[in-house]
Amino acid sequence: MDAVYRLGSVTAADVTANIPSPPTNAAVRRMLAILEEKGHLRHVEDGPRYVYYPTIGHEKASRSALRHLTDTFFQGSPVQTMATLLDISGSQLTDEELEKLSRLIKQAKKEGR
């Protein structure tokens, strides 16, 4: 999906050429078909090729993926998810980014989330 969002529309060959350590072209075609079956992509035929397009916006897909990740690896806990994110990137965060996180937490408290 990263390649699809980055390029806007893709063929299986485009995906293979734009991801690190790609699987076989047949595996990429199968994954694209699965993503289409799940409703994440649609395709149009361009001669012998299928050209795939995303069906949902990047932000909505990101939220859905993060929700799934949180449910799968962190027992549905946003706190555990955030703690892990801070642990793996804490030393890389700038003062401005840390301040922004602080403001977001204060805003969430204020709104009663």
Q: Which helix (H) or strand (E) holds 55?
A: none
Residues 37 and 64 grouped into a single domain = no
Tens of pLDDT along the chain (113 residues) come to 999 999 999 999 999 999 999 999 999 999 999 999 999 999 999 999 999 999 999 999 899 889 999 999 999 999 999 899 888 886 788 889 889 999 999 998 888 86
**Based on the number of CB atoms within 10 Å of its own CB, is 47 exposed (0-12), middle (13-18) or buried (19 or more)?**
exposed
Distances in whole angstroms, Cα of residue 6 to Cα of each of 37, 66, 111: 21, 18, 34
Whether this model's pTM surpasses 0.85: no
Range of the domain at 82: 58-110
- Please state the domain count of the chain: 2
CATH code (residue 50): 1.10.10.10
CA distance 37 to 30: 10
Residues 45 and 64 grouped into a single domain = no
Helix, strand or coil, per DSSP, at residue 49: strand
